[in-house]
Amino acid sequence: MNEMETYRRRVEEAATFLTARFRERPEIILIMGTGLGGLAAHLDNPQTIPYAEIPHFPRSTVTSHAGNLLFGTLGGKRVAALQGRFHYYEGYSARELTFPVRVLSQLGAGMMLVSNAAGGLNPAYAPGSLMILRDHINLIPDNPLRGINIDAWGPRFPDLSAAYDPELIDRIMACAAKLGLANMECGVYVAIPGPSLETPAETRYLRQIGADAVGMSTVPEVIVARHAGLKVLGVSVVSNVNDPDNQQPILLEEIIAQTEQTAARLVRLLLEFFKEL
């Protein structure tokens, strides 16, 4: 069996397992990034499955990420939530790390909402801002669709002219305005491979190529979701803002603390958004 056939069989086995476990199909896939696992506490009627119990699921190697799949409802919508994601810097290929998204997309969800913690590059941003993703730049030297295309899953050359759904962006920005949330931004996310953080020269470069925030995730998952035909909405918690002319050390503890502090605002926004969806 070739590599893609093996991958396909694994995806199908995991999807079959989850279909047997949960009778109701999720409408929305929710990916909870660094510091955002607390969103899980807001799910109604949650059912939890550790990743380790799901056939072929990867294992998280990062302590700031739990490893659970949750099914439940949020604002009345059926959600499959990934509490803990996988990153390129952990050693996974882009295809391996997007395995959960591929599996959940097979269960019939029509939308994916992805969150992450990111570093601000736009000097107008403040730490603790929420940035809705308008677009992305992939600097991770891999693509989850590299290799033989499985036509049943999506097209060989998926269009990314509107990777982040413009209507969903308008709606969530309208929700933020309605709630009167401060520091709401809409910008471009650039994904770097990590795990080392940016040098001042790299920060300057990432800003010059058009990015407003930088992180080490999200783009591979978005590519798979778009390939599978899901509408995508992305939101970054801007945990720190990097000034290349006065670069301060970027500390993981501070990223997590700031993200957790901002998570409450994100939860309010998402609950309102899901209610109105």
CB of 202 vs ligand HPA, minimal distance in Å: 9
Between 159 and 253, whose beta carbon lies closer to ligand HPA?
253
Please, what is the end-to-end C-alpha distance for the chain in angstroms?
A: 43
Number of Cβ within a 10 Å radius of residue 250: 14
Nearest to 120 by CA among 267, 261, 258, 276: 258
Contact residues toward ligand HPA (CB under 6 A) are 117-119, 197-198, 214-216, 239-240, 242, 250, 255
Q: Least separation, in Å, of the C-beta of 31 and ligand HPA?
A: 15
Q: Which is nearer to ligand HPA, 57 or 86 (CB)?
A: 86
Please state whether beta strands 68-74 and 77-83 pair in parallel, antiparallel, or not at all (unpaired). Answer: antiparallel
- What's the closest the beta carbon of residue 120 comes to ligand HPA, in angstroms? 8
Q: Which is nearer to ligand HPA, 26 or 35 (CB)?
A: 35
Residue with the CB atom nearest ligand HPA in the bound state: 119
Q: Which is nearer to ligand HPA, 135 or 198 (CB)?
A: 198
Per the CB < 8 A criterion, the answer to whether 70 and 100 are in contact is: no
User: CB of 255: closest distance to ligand HPA in angstroms?
Assistant: 5
159 exposed, middle or buried (CB, 10 Å; 0-12, 13-18, 19+)?
exposed
Q: Which residues pair with 190 in a beta bridge?
A: 137, 214
